[in-house]
Amino acid sequence: MEAKKIGEAHFGYVIFTTASEFEKVKEGEKTGGIGDEAYTINGPDAQQLWVRQEDRYVMIAIGDVPRPKEAKVIAKLVLERLKRKPLDN
């Protein structure tokens, strides 16, 4: 019988955020190849990728283990979608 791993979590989420919240994460690791500006930080539950593209701000987190490549793919998809059809306010 295989031992059960404790502490594994499988989840991900996207948050549409604000310029003021984005400013708070600028002490994080500068991350290239996505948006106009991006930073990676270790959040309370997962590594987080914060991205600004023009006046749009998103945060991507994928749980269990850091997944920077996957977070960038999701961020690019979200930002492309927002470019075509912005969120209603």
Asked if the structure places residue 7 within a domain, the reply is no
Whether residue 24 is contained in a domain is answered as: yes
Count structural domains, the chain: 1
Cα–Cα distance for residue pair 27/82, rounded to 1 Å = 26
For 14-52, write each residue's pLDDT tens digit: 999 999 999 999 999 999 999 999 999 999 889 999 999
Instruction: Give me the domain span that covers residue 35.
Output: 12-83
pTM: predicted TM-score of the whole model, two decimal places: 0.84
**Residue 29, in any domain of the structure:** yes
Domain assignment present for residue 2? The answer is no
The reply to whether 51 falls in a domain is yes
35, part of any domain: yes
- Which residue, among 14, 18, 2, has the nearest Cα to 76 in the 3D structure? 14
Is residue 26, in this structure, part of any structural domain at all? yes
